[in-house]
Structure 1
Amino acid sequence: MALTLAVGGGAYAAFGTGGRAKPAPSSTPAVTARVTKTDLVTTTSFSGILTYGSQRDLKAGGTGTITAHPPQAGDTVRRNQSLYEVDRVPVVLFYGKVPMYRELKKGVDGIDVVQLTENLRALGYDGVSRAGKFDAGTEAAVKRWQKRLGVAQSGVVKPEQLVFRPGSVHVTAAKVQSGDKIEANAPVLTLGSDRRIVTAQVKDDMRAKLKQGSAVKVSVPGIGEKPGKVTKITLAAAAGDDEVPSGATPPEDSKATVEIDLDGTVGTSTQDQLPVTVTFADQVTRDALTVPVEALVALREGGYGVQVVTGSGKKTVQVTPGTYADGRVALTGSTLTEGTVVEVPANDQ
């Protein structure tokens, strides 16, 4: 009589009444496999959301009325394009890491002036300073730029007329519409970088398996699998509590926010806030001696074994199963060697 035992997701059979498992007679030809040495990797998955990185609100630099339709969610704004318009004056995007915080005019110097002149050169305006000084040549170039924008040619760039961001931006939300009256510091748009990231909320037991720099794979619907890397892990307390300081022990019901950078581009046509699946290796067993999971048989006296096929027949060798992954199992504490032939019993239904 055959006894079937489910272990580790596979089915194993013990036969006979003696101390060793003996296969029952069968007309099915025996299937064999070799013991191989390989790395076994077990994986864990969790859900995440594909979105845009570095999201934050863009606030109005002054008061007035929105006089043109601002970009809408999903739009990308690039260098020298208008983010919004107040009292018929466009607020323009230039590239730079230092925010626009003062008037830029003849006589001033600094890194913000360098950013301004670099953008003007990129747009084809010549004669601007290369030394970070707002000189007469820079003033003349600013006036030509203002003329092309259709605004007063003052040669002075005011903080409420220019926004510096490190690169092109993606609009994730529009806070105003044409005709709205706004006050200074009122949110106008929510902007993110054009860099796509994945964010996820994971429980503490899952977070403990991750660390900054951990490699992951992200399954994106309609695109496929993309490699990625954990770039940030933020511990947070339960709802209503303050954020947990770095290094502190969070409460049992806390979750962590995990941020993942994708290696490779994801087109802007791929929707924002798209659910994705993140997979990572939580255990790696290197140079393991492995056999197909189906090669394991449960022994009557307890434990597991494999049927080793030799030139004169076969014999049962007791083994200790280790890691299961990809349809194979690592064997530990056995006398088997790489290349040994084992029987893979048929799984009769």
Structure 2
Amino acid sequence: MTALPAAGTTVTRGQQLYRVNDQPVPLFYGGTPLFRPLDKPGLVGRDVQVVASNLQALGYDVGTQPKVGSVITQPAADPAPGGSALSPKDGGGTAAPAGGSSTGAPSGGPTRAPAAPTAPTAPTSPTAAAGAPAAPTQTTVESGDGVVTGSLIAAIKRWQKAVGLPQTGSLGIGDVVVLPGAIRIGALQTQLGEQGAEALMSVTPTDKVVTVPVDPANVGSIKQGDKVTISLPDSSTTPGTVSGVGTAVKGNAASNSAAGAGPGGPPTVDVTVAIDDPSTVKDFDSATVQVAFVSATATGVLAVPVGALLALSGGGYAVQLTGSGGLVAVQTGMFAKGMVAITGNGITAGTQVVTAA
């Protein structure tokens, strides 16, 4: 490892994530890591599409890709004497630097650097001469596949020149890190000069979200898409939307004790809230906030301040009308934010009542 990002750094598409042997390892977006050397025209697969789509997004002309259903002649593997394909380390392919790509979403787990795998052994035929080239095969392009074309190879070379990589026109395992999107660097788990064979760092998505521990008894009233109000540390509020409701109960004191893990906190279920306007929290890296959920809604009701309610000796409540000073028995409805819904004889919109100062 010859360069590492600082904790808290945001890395986006095409930017250097780290350096191995003083060669940059950039970040590409996608769901399929580079699992083989892309070093021959005609190779077909989703890993090729990842390269093509990222280069195109970075402004490189990758040419026209073959359409779905096209039949492509796959290049034959270069056989070793006896019919075995050479492994990358033996010169039969592009050797992979330390620092491989991650195959999972950046949920805080470590990005690992796998060693370059050995290429599979090509089948041999009892009648084939030792070292005879294998016959090429044909592959049909499916949805989501890309194809290594001459235009794509040329685009790779232009990109390699721009980022300071050798202009080979090919990519090997570990030459780029593939993750679903932009990431924020968490804790580093290696240091400069190390081999990079273990975990390198933890990463998380760049979108800021709020995680709310909710009593399991109340989770049933919360649904994905519900609107909430988030109270921030600077006393301002911002709207949010429930983006996920967990299913795992955490902190069950009884089960923790039974398992020998010691007493735990009260049981909770995590509810994830997305912030509707991310600019409202740009000054906060992490913070404790309060989230107000709407558990029930009432429309078209008449409401008065809770302080206007007077308890009656026989039970129930009344309000005192201004002017006449008479009391009117009322039935109460929903309480929310210091207000209460009421109904009663003579209570109409605009009725004035006495309330506590």
TM range (shorter): 0.5 to 0.7
- Name the one with the larger strand percent: 1
**Structure 1 residue 209: Cα displacement:** 3.2
SS state at 1:337 partner: coil
Choose from 9, 14, 27 the match for 1:75.
Answer: 9
Q: In the alignment, is the contact (CA less than 8 A) between 1:227 and 1:263 conserved in 2?
A: yes
**Structure 1 residue 134: Cα displacement:** 0.7
1:76-155 paired onto structure 2 within 5 Å = 76-105=10-39, 106-131=41-66, 132-155=146-169
Q: Which residue number in structure 2 is paired with residue 18 of structure 1? A: none
**Structure 1 residue 77: Cα displacement:** 0.8
Give the aligned residue type for 1:121. Q
Q: In the alignment, is the contact (CA less than 8 A) between 1:198 and 1:261 conserved in 2?
A: yes
Is residue 168 from structure 1 mapped to residue 168 from structure 2 by the alignment? no
* Separation in 1, partners of 2:211, 2:167: 45
* Separation in 2, partners of 1:198, 1:214: 14
Q: Which residue number in structure 2 is paired with residue 343 of structure 1? A: 353
Q: Cα gap change, 1:255/1:309 in structure 2, threshold over 3 Å: closer, same or farther?
A: closer
* Separation in 2, partners of 1:275, 1:108: 50
Q: In the alignment, is the contact (CA less than 8 A) between 1:107 and 1:134 conserved in 2?
A: yes
* Separation in 1, partners of 2:160, 2:342: 74
SS state at 2:200 partner: strand
Is residue 322 from structure 1 mapped to residue 333 from structure 2 by the alignment? yes
Q: Which residue number in structure 2 is paired with residue 291 of structure 1? A: 304
SS state at 1:275 partner: coil
SS state at 1:130 partner: coil
Q: Cα gap change, 1:266/1:223 in structure 2, threshold over 3 Å: closer, same or farther?
A: farther
Runs (4 or more) in structure 1 with deviation over 6 Å come to none
Q: In the alignment, is the contact (CA less than 8 A) between 1:114 and 1:130 conserved in 2?
A: no
Q: Cα gap change, 1:309/1:274 in structure 2, threshold over 3 Å: closer, same or farther?
A: closer
* Separation in 2, partners of 1:233, 1:112: 33
* Separation in 1, partners of 2:206, 2:297: 34
1:187-198 paired onto structure 2 within 5 Å = 187-198=199-210
SS state at 2:328 partner: strand
Q: In the alignment, is the contact (CA less than 8 A) between 1:74 and 1:172 conserved in 2?
A: yes
* Separation in 2, partners of 1:142, 1:95: 16
Q: Cα gap change, 1:223/1:302 in structure 2, threshold over 3 Å: closer, same or farther?
A: closer
SS state at 1:331 partner: strand
Give the aligned residue type for 2:191. Q
Structure 2: any 5+ residue segments left out of the alignment? 67-145, 257-264
**Structure 1 residue 239: Cα displacement:** 6.5
* Separation in 2, partners of 1:180, 1:268: 37
* Separation in 2, partners of 1:293, 1:272: 38
* Separation in 2, partners of 1:330, 1:86: 67
Q: Which residue number in structure 1 is paired with residue 267 of structure 2? A: 254
Q: Cα gap change, 1:100/1:221 in structure 2, threshold over 3 Å: closer, same or farther?
A: farther
Give the aligned residue type for 1:317. V
Q: In the alignment, is the contact (CA less than 8 A) between 1:292 and 1:344 conserved in 2?
A: no
Q: In the alignment, is the contact (CA less than 8 A) between 1:117 and 1:128 conserved in 2?
A: no
- Bigger Cα displacement from structure 2, 74-83 vs 100-109: 100-109
Is residue 221 from structure 1 mapped to residue 233 from structure 2 by the alignment? yes
* Separation in 2, partners of 1:141, 1:267: 40
* Separation in 1, partners of 2:165, 2:297: 63
Question: 1:213-265 deviations in whole A, cap 9, x for unaligned?
Answer: 222122233483222122222222526969xxxxxxxxx95321111111122
* Separation in 1, partners of 2:206, 2:168: 33
Structure 1: any 5+ residue segments left out of the alignment? 1-65, 243-251
Give the aligned residue type for 2:310. V
* Separation in 2, partners of 1:95, 1:268: 25
* Separation in 2, partners of 1:112, 1:240: 47
**Structure 1 residue 178: Cα displacement:** 1.4
Q: In the alignment, is the contact (CA less than 8 A) between 1:121 and 1:128 conserved in 2?
A: no
**Structure 1 residue 108: Cα displacement:** 0.9
**Structure 1 residue 76: Cα displacement:** 0.9
SS state at 1:285 partner: coil
**Structure 1 residue 115: Cα displacement:** 2.5
